[in-house]
Amino acid sequence: MDEKFNMSMRKYLKQVGVTSQQAIEALVRDRGLERGDLKLRTVVTVEGQDFEHVVDGKIDLG
C-alpha cells in the first residue's frame, strides 16, 4: 500500500471515530443515560463491492 492510501485511510477512520463519538455522547446526554452498558454494532460497507465488516462492542456508562 502506498502512502497516499495510508493517509486517506487514516483520515477516513479519524472521521468515523470522531463523528461516532460525538453521536454517542449526544445520545447519552439527550436521553439522560447514566447506568449500564450501551451495546453497539458498527457495520462498514464499501459501495459497489461485496464487503461488510462488523464490529460489536459495548460502552460502560458507569
Place of cell 493517509: 7
- Integer Cα distance of 55 and 40 in angstroms: 8
Question: For the whole model, what pTM was predicted?
Answer: 0.87
Supply the pLDDT for residue 1. 76
Residue 56 C-alpha from the chain's centroid: 10
Supply the pLDDT for residue 22. 98
pLDDT digits (tens, 9 = 90+) for 19-34: 999 999 999 999 999 9
pLDDT digits (tens, 9 = 90+) for 2-61: 999 999 999 999 999 999 999 999 999 999 999 999 999 999 999 999 999 999 999 999
Q: ∠ at Cα 60 (9, 36), nearest 5°?
A: 140
End-to-end CA distance of the chain: 41
